Amino acid sequence: MAFKGTASKSASGASMSKYDVEVAAALKKINARLDALEAQAHEKCESTGGGDVGAVVTALKTVFPAKFANL
């Protein structure tokens, strides 16, 4: 007799294996961390003037004078 076990159901109602459930949980965790990092990046950009290109160019010229001397 065949036995069909399911660990869970997907949003569409399809059966998911234990592995699928673990992968889905890991992806949710990764996406949450990515969202947090994106929010931090936006906060830092806004707190530093929202894109001060002149400051970036100056920093690049200082750190890498041979590469960015012509900017």
Structural domain of residue 12, as residue ranges?
8-68
The answer as to whether 2 is a domain residue is: no
Rounded to the nearest 5°, which phi and psi values hold at 62? -70, -45
Q: What is the mean pLDDT of residues 35-43?
A: 88
pLDDT of residue 15: 86
Q: How many domains does the chain have?
A: 1
Q: What is the mean pLDDT of residues 8-28?
A: 87
pTM: 0.50
Q: What is the mean pLDDT of residues 58-62?
A: 87
The answer as to whether 27 is a domain residue is: yes
Calculate the average pLDDT of the chain: 81
The answer as to whether 1 is a domain residue is: no
